[in-house]
């Protein structure tokens, strides 16, 4: 990897902070289109959301707004700003992630000039623990299918900068992002990932449902999902880092940036991944928890959760930083990583 990559990531941090602040203020406007994506691996289609710098008019909408979480303002089906578009494929969330948790970062990056294509996730209420391991291979396939669909979309065909296509993943989305970069899971390591106290985020769920990871389809799990169109991968609190085959990580040839959410569980700390990937960098975001990657809570969000007997930790972050402050820093780090690649000639 070009040694300038690491330096540029930090040199561009201040610029990224300013860009993130501009996105938060609502300028430039963000457009949103919904796209049905054929996904042969699932035997059907998924819904992908396309976030982009908007030009002209569109129907104003507030996406993902609820009594707990703040929504994101967009212009539905607005024309696209002129000029070439760098693309970021986005997968946000764990195995049972709620929808809309990735909207905040998609909107911020779109306001910074990216076309962000976020692959929709299956309804977590319909996902059985016994079937969940198959999801690990489906998510990277979803992202590749989404990119193909975007390349063919009338509004974006001919507009995509093919030299600036990257992938951003949070949690299990980070696992998918690393798979697109060329990482391959080791079936035996995955099978033992819930053994002997090596508990990942879903181990208790598997155990309660009687799902045994030692009986998963090893060949499907270890299949390669490398997408040669991807030029950089940014992973935030990636899951299953210890289950990737070391030889596949050693072969990775594109830049990989890994961001740890300071107070998040060891199971999503990618420090060992960074050591195994040539030229990869690992950054620690202080005062952040795993919930800091979720949408911002409304002022009464925690109280509502508490009154309903739910975990109010969904609205809590580490230290004295607010979620809005953490989002600004995290968005700046992500933006700097993607921009540094295009400016360093990698």
d(CA 344, CA 330): 21
Looking at residue 8, its pLDDT comes to: 39
Query: Do 273 and 244 meet the contact criterion of CB atoms below 8 Å apart?
Result: yes
- Is residue 16 pLDDT above 70, yes or no? no
Tokens at 286, concatenated: 């202080």
Q: What proportion of the chain, given as a percentage, has pLDDT over 70?
A: 90
Looking at residue 168, its pLDDT comes to: 98
CA-based radius of gyration for the chain: 19
CB atoms within 10 A of CB 65: 16
Exposed e or buried b per residue across 239-248, where buried means at least 16 C-beta atoms within 10 angstroms of its C-beta: bbbbbbbeeb
Q: Which residues constitute the domain of residue 274?
A: 4-344
Tokens at 28, concatenated: 């430039």
Domains in the chain, number: 1
pLDDT (tens digit per residue) in 181-214: 999 999 999 999 988 656 778 888 898 999 999 9
Tokens at 287, concatenated: 């005062």
pTM over 0.85: yes
pLDDT (tens digit per residue) in 207-241: 899 999 998 888 998 999 999 999 999 999 999 99
Query: The domain spanning residue 183 has which CATH number?
Result: 3.40.50.1820
pLDDT (tens digit per residue) in 34-86: 999 999 889 999 999 999 999 978 899 999 999 999 999 999 999 999 889 99
Query: Do 282 and 217 meet the contact criterion of CB atoms below 8 Å apart?
Result: no
Query: Do 5 and 114 meet the contact criterion of CB atoms below 8 Å apart?
Result: no
Instruction: Output the average pLDDT for the chain.
Output: 87
Looking at residue 342, its pLDDT comes to: 53
Q: What proportion of the chain, given as a percentage, has pLDDT over 90?
A: 64
pLDDT (tens digit per residue) in 162-178: 999 999 999 999 999 99
d(CA 289, CA 293): 8
Give the range with max mean pLDDT: 94-108, 116-130, 245-259. Answer: 245-259
- Is residue 27 pLDDT above 70, yes or no? no
Backbone dihedral region of 240: left (phi > 0), alpha (psi from -120 to 50 degrees) or beta? left
- Is residue 20 pLDDT above 60, yes or no? no
Phi, psi of 341 (to 5 degrees): -65, -45
| Ranges 19-23, 132-136, 263-267: which has the least confidence | 19-23
d(CA 153, CA 32): 14
When comparing pLDDT for 10 and 298, which is higher? 298
Give the confidence band of 14 by pLDDT, cuts at 50, 70, 90: very low
Give the confidence band of 19 by pLDDT, cuts at 50, 70, 90: very low
């Amino acid at each position: 990897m070009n040694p300038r990559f690491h330096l540029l990531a930090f040199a561009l941090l201040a610029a990224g902070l300013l860009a993130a602040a501009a996105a938060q203020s609502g300028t430039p406007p963000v457009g949103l289109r919904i796209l049905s994506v054929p996904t042969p691996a699932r035997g059907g289609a998924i819904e992908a959301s396309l976030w982009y710098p908007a030009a002209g008019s569109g129907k104003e909408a507030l996406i993902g707004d609820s009594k707990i979480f703040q929504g994101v303002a967009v212009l539905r089906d607005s024309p696209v700003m002129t000029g070439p578009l760098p693309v970021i494929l986005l997968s946000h969330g764990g195995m049972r992630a709620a929808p809309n948790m990735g909207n905040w970062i998609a909107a911020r990056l779109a306001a910074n000039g990216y076309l962000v294509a976020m692959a929709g996730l299956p309804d977590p209420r319909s996902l059985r623990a016994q079937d969940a391991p198959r999801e690990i291979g489906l998510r990277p396939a979803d992202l590749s299918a989404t990119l193909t669909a975007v390349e063919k979309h009338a509004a974006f065909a001919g507009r995509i900068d093919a030299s600036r296509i990257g992938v951003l993943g949070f949690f299990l989305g980070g696992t998918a992002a690393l798979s697109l970069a060329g990482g391959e899971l080791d079936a035996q390591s995955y099978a033992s990932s819930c053994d002997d106290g090596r508990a990942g985020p879903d181990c208790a769920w598997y155990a309660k449902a009687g799902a045994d990871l030692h009986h998963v389809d090893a060949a499907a799990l270890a299949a390669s999902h490398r997408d040669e169109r991807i030029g950089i991968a940014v992973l935030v609190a990636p899951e299953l880092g210890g289950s990737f085959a070391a030889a596949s990580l050693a072969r990775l040839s594109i830049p990989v940036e890994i961001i740890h959410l300071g107070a998040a569980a060891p199971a999503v700390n990618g420090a060992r991944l960074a050591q195994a990937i040539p030229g990869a960098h690992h950054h620690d975001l202080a005062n952040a928890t795993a919930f800091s990657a979720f949408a911002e809570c409304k002022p009464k969000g925690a109280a509502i959760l508490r009154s309903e007997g739910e975990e109010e930790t969904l609205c809590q972050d580490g230290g004295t930083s607010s979620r809005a402050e953490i989002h600004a820093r995290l968005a700046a780090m992500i933006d700097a990583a993607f921009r540094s690649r295009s400016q360093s000639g990698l």
